[in-house]
A and B are shown apart, each in its own frame.
Chain A
């Protein structure tokens, strides 16, 4: 059974190779190639939008992979490559948007909502604590929801 499972997992792991679309020649330096593989997963394919550059077989994605390949080869850092692509295609090309004043409220929203929820919960709890205890009050449908 466990051997079977292992074989299944191995086959599953191998199956992704069949979907590989990247024809860019690998970089000679393994560290550079590693950076290349990480970077092409960080950027959006502008044509298909929900695919990464790494997964897209659109010709523009292939061009951009080659561009990233060449930029790494020419000694550019990861950040320089990110700036290069953002300057041309906008922040939209980044799957993980950068923090800025424009989107700060989005980053703050979960914390604000959590604090708001805590404040409401605290109020309700305090109210309840003040309520007289009587056995036959039906449970409040709102606060028990």
Chain B
């Protein structure tokens, strides 16, 4: 009699384990992939600027101050949703945003920025997507927070919300002017 409870107990345990797995599964599998870039130097690159035609931008310029690197494209639906957040981040003035326009048509990108507003300090055009591969980009929009030493300290895959920005990114910037966390982590 007592022994017949054993399979039932095992079954209940299995149900608990599976339920735990199902409820803790991320809604979008792509979100859990941890970027191998975190804690490493931002990849080197030199790309033409989108707006100041004829000028080049080097990844070396990311050093010396905090930067938010945002990979986007006009073909990317979620980027449109994210745009308002980027404008708000620009408004806060905590960190300049560098845009990498990924596999895009330059004219459409310029028109997009003219129409929706330009949150970027600089936008570079990665027309063939080679630089995006070095950054391990697989789904725009993606955002990387790069510290003054040129190390990638945070990454967001998918559209960033102000909530993401405040909870994940701002604490890294430490005691600045506004309502940032107490100190950098």
| Residue positions of A touching B, CB distance < 8 A | 46-47, 49, 59-60, 63-64, 67, 86-90, 92, 140-142, 145
Contact = CB atoms under 8 A, between A and B. Distances in A.
A145 B34 CA distance: 43
A90 B4 contact: no
B4 A63 contact: no
Given A49-B29, A49-B30, A90-B34, A60 B4 contact: no
Contacts of B138: 46-47, 60, 89
Given A59-B103, A141-B4, A142-B6, A90 B136 contact: yes
Contacts of A90: 33-36, 136
Given A47-B139, A59-B103, A63-B129, A88 B7 contact: no
Contact of A89 (B7, B36, B130): B36
Main secondary structure of the interface of A (DSSP, over half): helix
A64 B133 contact: yes
B6 A92 contact: no
B12 to A, nearest CB: 16
B27 interface: no
A145 B134 CA distance: 55
